[in-house]
Each structure stands twice: as C-alpha cells, then as structure tokens.
A and B are shown apart, each in its own frame.
Chain A
C-alpha cells in the first residue's frame, strides 16, 4: 500500500471562510489555514491533494491551487453532510487508499514529527485503514466521532477498531466505548485525520444514491470496522479546531510556541499580561 493522495474537506456551511484565515506557521510564514493543513499532508509524502469545497468558493480555491500546483478542487454541489463530501472525491482518489484531513483543524506536532506521517506509516505497514485518535474527556466527546476497540498487542498507541459512534452521549460512551487502559471518563475520539481505503466509497455509495438525506461519515466507518481491518493510532500531536470560540487564537499560539518564533511569542504574551496588571495597579492607586 502506498499513499499518495489526500482529501481535505472544507465545504461545511460554517467553515467556508475559515480555511482562508491567515495564520503564521511554525516557520514564521503567514499562510491561510488550508495551506498549513496541506503542508502537513505534503510533509508526510502526499503528492496530490483534493479539496472538497462549497461550489461558491470554487474560484477562490482554484486561484490558490494555481500557486501550489498539487491541488485539485472538487465542488460539493449539495450540502449533504460529511460522508457525502468525501464521496465527492471518489473520482479524484480512484481505487487507492488516501489520507483524509478536515479543513477546520490545525494540526501541530509535539516533536516535529507530523501526525500524518505516523498515520501513513502505520497504514502502509499494516495495509489497512487507520484513524488518528486522541483520548478525550467525556465532557468534550459530544463534539467528535469516537471509537471503541482493543489495544493491539505489543503497542501502546495502536488499537483495532470495532465500533465507531458519531458524537456519543457520555452514557453511550460509558456503556459501549470504554477502552481498557484509558483513564476513567476518557474515550478515543477522532483527531480529524484518517487513512481510508476505497472500500469506504463502496459503503457510502448506496447511502448517497438511495436518498437525498444527509450522509454522515461515522456510520460508514462503523460498517468499515465490521468488514475489514481498521486501526486507530493515538496521535502524538495536537489538533486545534478553528471553528470554535478562540479556536484561531489557540491555533496561532500553538503554532507560534512550537516554531522558531517561540521566544517572540512568549515575550508578546508576557508583555500583554504585564501591561494589563500595571494598568490595573495604577488605577487602584
């Protein structure tokens, strides 16, 4: 198995502007979020990137694609959910496994080794689908897809997935998603990064074709887990959803603190705090 393509979904109604937001990357270069995500894929060895976008944004992306040379812009003509968005990329992907990343998360590695590389390495080694996961506290699990499964013998970070549930309730999580070895009240939730096999398209096809309803991804991933080997790997990096309150700020701070401008960012934060305190003290006097 060799992974050369990636699909980034960026067509969600709430995330159309976000991928174009500018952030300063680890190298101190100002870039749109979508480029930072694409860089993560490229650093992991991906050669072609398909970006699924809202039809109204096609031109904007095409202009950006001209600069990169590796992007293929795919329009999702009907807003029919996450599963449908990926399904739209089936022609781009062809009959090969691919890396998938969400367009509203910024991924920051802890040790310079990208999470996407780890995912791809495991998928190529085990010849199967792999999802990046992260232990998540129960108060946050309502935002993510979550998996249950067993730790793979001999590994601390790899799990075989036997079930996928979209946005579980804490009760559901406790009843069906508990994984031995994790801390109480923590569950494995998606990291926003997967290596998926073409089998997924075969599972999505009947659902997409049979009705005009929204199509989620987790149900098909759950089917995938029943039909073939499907692993999860605990990502060593951090992900920052940019579509939440202060999401962009957090992502920027994380990028800044993990790159070459670390000292400058730290100084900035300290200055800001000091000025605030001084102003408050002066007011009191």
Chain B
C-alpha cells in the first residue's frame, strides 16, 4: 500500500499526523509519481470527505513543491486549453482528468504539475466549502427555512407587542463585539473545527467599545432596530454606510451586492423572515408581508455600529449580523422573550443563523466570530460528532462549537477589572484581506508539515496557560503568553500575519515603556488592524496617548509602503457581561438612532408632507421633540441643515487637487482627448487590443531561444565578468507602477512594500534589488549604477523613503528616473466591461459568491452608465485618478529626463543596461547571461521562462513567422497562449548604442532634448496602445472601501520585439530567476518552494 495513503487512512495519531514534506523529500521522481497515482486512485473511491480532501492536498503539495525540485522533471510542457476551461468553470475533476491524460501521453513536466497543483488545491477547498455549506443548511432549526417556497408556507408572525398603538414600538438589539485572547492558531476555521475538534479552542471576550477621545464611554458597538411600518415594503437602512432602500420584490432581498445593505438582507433571510427557500420563487413580497405582519404592513430593519472602523479584527460585521438576526427572531416570536438576554439555546441558534447568513452572502467567518452574542469571557471548543448529528459519518467534529462562559472562579471580578486596566486596544489603520491567510492555515494543517504542526500544538497549550493566568489574575503573564503566541506559533504557521508596521509598533512601545509593557496581543486573523498592547495599569492612560503618537508616526513613514485605510485609533473598552440584549422602545422613546434621521429626514423634507403616512408624521413629531429635550441630539438641527444644503467643495478636496496635479505633471490634454475620442468611438478598446484574427501565432522552434541554463559557457561568464569589472553595466528597476494586483488597487508604492522577512528583517522590493546589485558589484570590484524608474505616483514617496533609509547604504550610484508621462483614468465603456466579464475566460466562483459577483457587476455597469462612459475618473484621491502609461515609456523616459545622458557622461564606458520589473526578484546582473548577450551582439536580449499555469498574459511566439513577445491582451484567440512554451519575464539586456540607433539617436545627440522628444514620439506612434481595466479602491467612511474598474491606456515594452530593425534575442532562464511576485497570496508558496532562499542567496544586505 502507498505510504501516503496509509498516513491518510491511519487511525493512530502518530501515523496520521506524519508530515508529507519529510516523506516526499526522500522519494525519487518515479517514486513520487507512483505515490501520486496511488493518491489519485484512492481519492476517487474514498467515501470519507476529510480523507479525500487530505489526498487532494497531498497531491497539490507533491505537484507544487516536490516534483519541481526533481532535476529529471521536464521544464516545459503543454496545458491543454480544454483543461484550463474546465478549471475556470470550477469543473476541477474534468480538469484533472484531462491534465492526467496529457501527462500520461507526453510525460510529466513542471508546466503540467503547476496546473495539477492548482486544480487539486481548488478541488480540495471546493469540497470543504460544499460540505460546510451543506452542514450549515442541515443544522436542525435551519432546515425549515429552505422548505418555505410560497408566502402561505411562511410560519412566522410578528409578535403582537410590535403592532400596538400608532407610534409603533421599536425593538432594539444591543450587541458587544468579540475580542479573542487566543484562537489557538486560527483553530476556529470551520474546516479545522470539523476535522480536529479537540484542537479547536478559542478564548474570547465580549466587549463594549468607544473611540478614545471621541466617545464619552464604552457601549455595545453594534445596534440593530426592528419595527413594523404601515407600508407593504421591507425598508432597510444602514446608518454607518449611509444607505437605505425600500424593497418591494423578493428577488431584491437576494441581491446582496446591489447596494451596501447586503448584511441586512442576509439577516432577513437567515432569520427566516424572508426564508431562503423563497429565492427565485416569483412570490410577491407584499403577500409575504401580509402573512407575517398583516395587510398593508411592512417591516423596517436598521443597523448601526457607532462608527467602529472596518478591519477592527473584532468581528464587527458578524456580530452585527447576529444582532440583526436576533432582532428579527425576537420580533417574529422565535425567542422566548421579546426583550432581555437570550437563553443558551437561542444564542446557539443565533450563532448558527449568523453562519448561514455569512455563507449566503458569500463571506464566511469562523465559528467563534459571533462571540458577542454570549456574555463575558468564554471558552469555545470544537465538538466531536455523535450519532444523530447531521455531520455524523462525514467529519470528526460538529459544525458548531460549544460555549462555556467562565465564572467568577475562573476569572474573578478583580481579574476582569485588571485586564481592562492594562489593555490598550487599537486599530492600527491597515485594512487587509484575511482570506488568503485562512486558506494557508487550512492547507498547512492538512499537510501536517512538522514545524507548523508542532506550532499548532504549542498554540493549543498557550490557551491553557492563559486560562491558568486568568485564574491566577496574573495579567503580566497573559501578556507574555499572547506575545509568545504571536512571535511563536502564529508566525511559524503564517509569517504573513505580521508585518513591518506591527513590529515597528511593538519595538517602539517596548523602547518607550520598557518593563511596563507587558505584551502584544494579535486580534483576529492578522495584525495591522485591531491589536492589543498590555501595560502595567498605572501607565495605561499614558500608553493610550503614546500609542496614538507612535502609530500615527509609523503610519506616516509607511503610508506609501503598506495599505492603510484610515488614521489609526485607540479605543476605550469594557467587558460586556450581558451578551446580546434586547429592549423595546415605546411611546416617545420609539425612535431609531439619530444617524438614521440625519440620513432620512432630508429625503422626507423634500417630499410633499401630505404624502407622508400618519405614523411617519407622528414619528417626525417625536423626533423633533426629542431634539429639544435630549442633550445628545442637540446638534441635530445643524447636521440636518448641512445635509439639506451641502457646502461647496473646499480647496483641499480631490477635484481641485487633481487639476493642479495634472498641470504640474505635464499631462497632455490633447493626447488625452484623442484617446477618449478613440475609446468612445470604439477604435480602441479591449476587443481592439487584439491582433487581427488572421494572424498566425505559433510556438517557437529549436534555435529561436538560447538555452540560458545549459548553454552558458565559461567564455560567456568571463566576457560578462569583464564587462562588470569595467563598469559597463547599469541596472534599471522599473518601479513606476503602483502594483494594482499586489494590494488590490490600494495605491501603495510596490517598490517600498516590506513584503517578506529576508536575512531576519522585513525587506522592501527596492532593498532586495539593491542588495543583489551590491553583491554583484562587490564581486566585480565595481559597484553598478542602479536606476529606479518612477512615475508621478511613485516618485516623491520613493525619493523620500530612500532618503530616510539613506539609500539602504548602497555603495554605487543610485538614481531615480522620473516619469515624464501620466494619464488620467476614465470611466470604462460598458462595451469593455462586458468584454472583460463576459467574453474573456473568467474564473467562475462558488455558486453563492458568483451570484454576489454578478450583482456587483450589474451595479458597476449601472455606475458607468450613470457617470458617463469614457468621461474622466475624478471621484477619488488624485493619485488614484492618475495612471502611469505603461512600461514602454520607462526606458525612453531615461532618454528624455537626462538620466542616461548623465550616467554616460559620468561613465563613458557604460554599454549595457539590465532592465527588469520591480517584482522579478530573482533578476540580477548575472555575468554568464550578460556574456551571452554581448557575444550575440543583440540590441535586446529578453529573458523568458518555461510557462506555468499562473503565467498568463502572453509569451514568446512566432507571430506571422517573426519571433517576438506577444502580450496576452493582443492574443486573437485565448487558446493560442496555451501552445506557447515560454512566458515573458520582461527582464531585458539592452545594448545602449544599438538601442539609441533604433530611436535614431546617438550618445552625442542625447543632450538635444528637442531631438530626443521627437524621436520618442515617433517611436511611440509605432507602438500599439492597449486599453486595460484596472481596479481602484475608493475609501470612505470609517475604513470602508469600494473597488471600481477604470479604463486606462498603456504601451508595453515587449512590443519592441515586433520592430524589424530591433535585433531581439531570447534566452530561457530558470524559473527562480524569471518568476514575478504579482500577488501577496503567492508569498507563502514563494517561501516554501525555495524561491525566497534563492533570492536571499543573491543578496548582500550590508
């Protein structure tokens, strides 16, 4: 029997928890292939879900990490396009079948393994997600909601207390949020809790919050309001997101991404008020409301979170969902009591419904996130399944955990007070997506790699330590434990849960407070947002003040390096001993929160008063009286006045700022209008990016590509070394872009992003590139000039950052080549949006997420039409409205801004440039490759790498029989790309004189700016213009973000190879050298597949 299958099947934990990595690293290629075959056959017949999933993860790991290390494995292969299409359609089984057939026919290869790894990975997560969804639905108490398919099936009725009198009582639910002391290494992820219930343990605390310095005192941050109204509609309002809607159709309730009311809709569905079984039923909402609330009546649901910013890591949104669900359940008689706390069973049901709501809305937190529903401090633990549970026979653990509230014995009143007196709770201001981290955790758990598995067990032990510390009332010891947890198990399992910002804060706090700083406490899935710092109680007030200072200063320094969504804040907090709590507001108190009226009253005032219902009029009367009587509403009149008559935009706002910027950056309005005219007329656009369909695109043949691995001779090396020693080479790092994919459009400078710890410290991209040049220069005895290109967006941040870090002590000349061109983004054409979303192959998402995405896209198309297709995009920060115009311009910019001329003047011996992208971390001025370039006498030598599945976006091809790089955007047929063996790394060796000749210039004429400008314009005209859609984030409110697709144009460097007069050579280099880091989600694999170690081996940090 296969060794790996026997691990999966074993009942003995000592065998079952064996690490795949250790076994796989001892196997030869053919032995690994035999194991992979055995795992594949096993998973196809295995009927145990978790064993099947583990087999998938084993297969993923073998193909992703172990096979590529075998030198006998072929470098390149072909991924059948059909397999890729299955992959995009989430038909992973079909995809795997086709890939394995290809492997059987043409043998294994790195390329095929990359596709198999991706398919197994996705299949594993799909299987797990499907099972969780099934379990959520089958929780007893949730099933009936899926059977309600008609209004007459609806069993719920509004409680009579909510329909008495004319003033309509308001049911209010107040809910704390949860703060986890430890989650035992993310053990609350459903997949973990269901497979390893004994390891799923979380200690969390329900807390009330206030923003320090803004709010008077802590109170439950989450509020939900429910009332009956005299119109047959569902009225939803989110006070924080300033959004409200009157809904008249059932299908609108299921349209989650249409507006900002998705959470309220999910609550209505998950509480059974609008049962999930009604989706797509064509039933009338009015009929349903008649059944629930009575003829002519409707319901209103309002949410408010008291301005607590997003990304607090306190599970605000899950607890808000739970509060809304609880209010809906109380209102429809699903709880014993209309008001007061809930019973234990009711809390469990609310938690189960919150999980259901999250899955319906396409998100999905952990099972402990609705912890605010329970009071005080509680131990939440996974539960083994019993006969009779819906999960029986499927998983080892139940979907829902048990909650045990710690009593006075386990955490005394004094201890709780001491904890409150010691802990400073903050929001660091960073907003990041925790999703990839949760995937990494799941994967590592199932692979049981030794360091990570040991860390998991260590983290479980830390929970017991903290429990003992709580009992002993030793807060300093808790601080030691949470700090040890963060720097120990948490970072061993997922290094990316920390970042430079967090560690800077910890260092500076430690420096400022010495022994009075008792420890750091990571909240939620990752650090940078909500965090805790524990101090000696006598210094807490001082620490609150100081932390605000430290955070603001660090944020300022790193503002362009890391994605900050808001200014950091310090909270006041207190432990909430109620859990979620309901009360009924009647008579004059039957009012919604003041923010609701600030939003609604201006709309009502604009209506004819005769059209307002009597209850609405009565409510406005009550509100007007309350404004007189209640001190907290004293400034309401001013607020309403401001809303009714918005003031003009101030000089400091985005619009004004942008036009000034455009003036100073030399923005070319004539060219811009030309692009707009062409875009609007349809002469350029996504479809027009493509080469004519008559073009023939074929893979290269032998002789088209130089072998950069086996083909490098000692002669090449010595030729290159000589050039390096003579100072003939400079390195150009392209860093004008803002890495839209790297931070999903957050607009940070990618070059300055401290992406990973190398050599024991967080390193930025630019530091890494300098460290490679340092090593090469030191070996050659001549430090290389290093040029970092910038654009308007990145120039000043890069300059000031490098100045602050003193150029990382780089010994050679370091210059910034400032961009000379800038574009203004435009609202995209609907035609292009449809092309991108409907015509181009798309990754289909999980069914529910797909629905959410579709409704979000419909809203974006509506936005583009209403805002004006092809008009300027100006509704954002100026830097988010501008765009660099493509990397083609970056080398010409060096001609235009005089940097190249200056360098040549300083170093007349300079002959060659190594141009590479900021994210190609393995690229360096390698002597052998340089020698090969020199020997062949090429103008440009472009480095290419064997393709993997993730390498999309073009490659090296014979286009109409000319060997050239072709962009993915220009591929006339998607499938052509899959026949190409090589992917473009963009790293280019340039012979300066030949390049100048192509531009019609010489070293001497470089100083003639008019001539240079004319030469560049002439060349630019020959380069194709691509229209692309980029996602940009627009931030607003308290850490809220929206993502908009905007249109911009680009010219790309690879198209130089299409020019007949350019002598372009192509050289295949190892993957480690040529691969690019495009997304942060790649980092973990990059670290594990030894890419990080490779890069580190090229660097000298000092």
A and B found bound together = yes
Residues of A at the B interface (CB closer than 8 Å) are: 137-142, 169-175, 178, 184-185
CB pair A138–B144 under 8 Å, yes or no, is yes
A-B contact pairs, 5 of them (CB 8 A): A141-B155, A171-B272, A171-B349, A173-B144, A174-B144
Task: Among B143, B154, B349, point to the contact of A139 (Cβ < 8 A).
Answer: B154
Task: Return B27 CB to nearest CB of chain A, in Å.
Answer: 50
Closest to A176 in B: B140
For B334, the chain A residues whose CB sits under 8 A away are 169, 171
CB pair A185–B157 under 8 Å, yes or no, is no
For A141, the chain B residues whose CB sits under 8 A away are 155
Top 9 closest pairs, chain A to chain B, by CB: A171-B141, A170-B144, A139-B155, A170-B155, A169-B334, A139-B153, A175-B141, A175-B140, A185-B147
For B272, the chain A residues whose CB sits under 8 A away are 170-171
Task: Return B350 CB to nearest CB of chain A, in Å.
Answer: 11
For B143, the chain A residues whose CB sits under 8 A away are 174
Contacts A141-B155, A175-B141 given; indicate if A169 touches B333 (C-beta within 8 A). yes
For A184, the chain B residues whose CB sits under 8 A away are 147
CB pair B140–A140 under 8 Å, yes or no, is no
- Give Cα distance in the complex from A178 to B140, angstroms: 10
- Give Cα distance in the complex from A141 to B145, angstroms: 14
CB pair B140–A174 under 8 Å, yes or no, is yes
B509 at the interface (CB under 8 A from A): no
Which of A140, A184, A185 has the most chain B CB within a 10 Å cutoff? A185
For A140, the chain B residues whose CB sits under 8 A away are 155
- Give Cα distance in the complex from A169 to B154, angstroms: 11
Known: A170-B145, A170-B272. 11 other contacts (CB 8 A): A138-B147, A139-B154, A141-B155, A142-B156, A142-B333, A169-B155, A169-B333, A171-B141, A171-B142, A172-B141, A174-B144
- Give Cα distance in the complex from A269 to B142, angstroms: 42
- Give Cα distance in the complex from A140 to B272, angstroms: 15
- Give Cα distance in the complex from A171 to B334, angstroms: 8
Task: Among B145, B153, B155, point to the contact of A142 (Cβ < 8 A).
Answer: B155
For B905, the chain A residues whose CB sits under 8 A away are none
Closest to A167 in B: B333
- Give Cα distance in the complex from A139 to B144, angstroms: 9
Closest to A142 in B: B155
For A138, the chain B residues whose CB sits under 8 A away are 144, 147, 153, 155
- Give Cα distance in the complex from A174 to B275, angstroms: 15
B152 at the interface (CB under 8 A from A): yes
For B145, the chain A residues whose CB sits under 8 A away are 170
Task: Among B140, B144, B156, B333, point to the contact of A185 (Cβ < 8 A).
Answer: B144
Task: Among A142, A171, A172, point to the contact of B157 (Cβ < 8 A).
Answer: A142
B148 at the interface (CB under 8 A from A): yes
- Give Cα distance in the complex from A138 to B272, angstroms: 13
Contacts A139-B148, A184-B147, A185-B147 given; indicate if A170 touches B156 (C-beta within 8 A). yes
Task: Return B338 CB to nearest CB of chain A, in Å.
Answer: 13
- Give Cα distance in the complex from A166 to B154, angstroms: 18
- Give Cα distance in the complex from A212 to B141, angstroms: 34
For A172, the chain B residues whose CB sits under 8 A away are 141
Task: Return A71 CB to nearest CB of chain B, in Å.
Answer: 34
Closest to A185 in B: B147
- Give Cα distance in the complex from A170 to B155, angstroms: 7
Task: Return B1064 CB to nearest CB of chain A, in Å.
Answer: 69
Closest to A141 in B: B155
- Give Cα distance in the complex from A129 to B144, angstroms: 31
- Give Cα distance in the complex from A138 to B143, angstroms: 11
For B141, the chain A residues whose CB sits under 8 A away are 171-172, 174-175
Closest to B353 in A: A171
- Give Cα distance in the complex from A229 to B147, angstroms: 34
- Give Cα distance in the complex from A12 to B157, angstroms: 21
Task: Return B31 CB to nearest CB of chain A, in Å.
Answer: 51
CB pair A139–B333 under 8 Å, yes or no, is no
- Give Cα distance in the complex from A169 to B141, angstroms: 9
- Give Cα distance in the complex from A249 to B141, angstroms: 35
Task: Return A123 CB to nearest CB of chain B, in Å.
Answer: 31
- Give Cα distance in the complex from A174 to B143, angstroms: 8
- Give Cα distance in the complex from A69 to B142, angstroms: 53
Task: Return A140 CB to nearest CB of chain B, in Å.
Answer: 7
Q: Beta-carbon contacts of B337-354 to A below 8 Å, as 1s and 0s? A: 000000000000100000
- Give Cα distance in the complex from A170 to B143, angstroms: 9
For B142, the chain A residues whose CB sits under 8 A away are 171, 174
- Give Cα distance in the complex from A280 to B688, angstroms: 61
Which B residues from 144 to 202 make CB contacts under 8 A with A? 144-145, 147-148, 152-157
Task: Return A188 CB to nearest CB of chain B, in Å.
Answer: 16
Which B residues from 718 to 751 make CB contacts under 8 A with A? none
- Give Cα distance in the complex from A138 to B153, angstroms: 8
Task: Return A135 CB to nearest CB of chain B, in Å.
Answer: 15
Which of B140, B144, B334 has the most chain A CB within a 10 Å cutoff? B144
Task: Return B276 CB to nearest CB of chain A, in Å.
Answer: 13
Task: Return A242 CB to nearest CB of chain B, in Å.
Answer: 20
Task: Return A23 CB to nearest CB of chain B, in Å.
Answer: 26
Task: Return A261 CB to nearest CB of chain B, in Å.
Answer: 31
Task: Return A155 CB to nearest CB of chain B, in Å.
Answer: 24
For A142, the chain B residues whose CB sits under 8 A away are 155-157, 333
Closest to B271 in A: A171
Closest to A184 in B: B147
- Give Cα distance in the complex from A178 to B147, angstroms: 15
Task: Return A91 CB to nearest CB of chain B, in Å.
Answer: 34
- Give Cα distance in the complex from A44 to B148, angstroms: 39
- Give Cα distance in the complex from A137 to B149, angstroms: 13
Which of A141, A169, A170, A171 has the most chain B CB within a 10 Å cutoff? A171
Task: Return A228 CB to nearest CB of chain B, in Å.
Answer: 27
For A170, the chain B residues whose CB sits under 8 A away are 144-145, 155-156, 272
Task: Return B373 CB to nearest CB of chain A, in Å.
Answer: 16
Which of B140, B152, B153, B155 has the most chain A CB within a 10 Å cutoff? B155
Task: Return A141 CB to nearest CB of chain B, in Å.
Answer: 6
Q: Beta-carbon contacts of B115-154 to A below 8 Å, as 1s and 0s? A: 0000000000000000000000000111111011000111
Task: Return A214 CB to nearest CB of chain B, in Å.
Answer: 14
- Give Cα distance in the complex from A172 to B141, angstroms: 7
Closest to B345 in A: A175
Task: Return A218 CB to nearest CB of chain B, in Å.
Answer: 14
Task: Return A24 CB to nearest CB of chain B, in Å.
Answer: 29
- Give Cα distance in the complex from A185 to B146, angstroms: 10
Contacts A169-B333, A171-B349, A185-B147 given; indicate if A139 touches B152 (C-beta within 8 A). yes
Closest to A169 in B: B334
- Give Cα distance in the complex from A171 to B144, angstroms: 7
For A185, the chain B residues whose CB sits under 8 A away are 144, 147
For B144, the chain A residues whose CB sits under 8 A away are 138, 170-171, 173-174, 185
Task: Return A34 CB to nearest CB of chain B, in Å.
Answer: 28
For A169, the chain B residues whose CB sits under 8 A away are 155-156, 333-334
Closest to B143 in A: A174
Which B residues from 295 to 351 make CB contacts under 8 A with A? 333-334, 349
Task: Return B802 CB to nearest CB of chain A, in Å.
Answer: 62
- Give Cα distance in the complex from A174 to B154, angstroms: 15
- Give Cα distance in the complex from A142 to B333, angstroms: 9
Task: Return A272 CB to nearest CB of chain B, in Å.
Answer: 24
Q: Beta-carbon contacts of B654-689 to A below 8 Å, as 1s and 0s? A: 000000000000000000000000000000000000
Closest to B349 in A: A171
- Give Cα distance in the complex from A140 to B152, angstroms: 9
Which B residues from 263 to 291 make CB contacts under 8 A with A? 272
For A171, the chain B residues whose CB sits under 8 A away are 141-142, 144, 272, 334, 349
Closest to B150 in A: A139
Which of A137, A139, A174, A175 has the most chain B CB within a 10 Å cutoff? A139
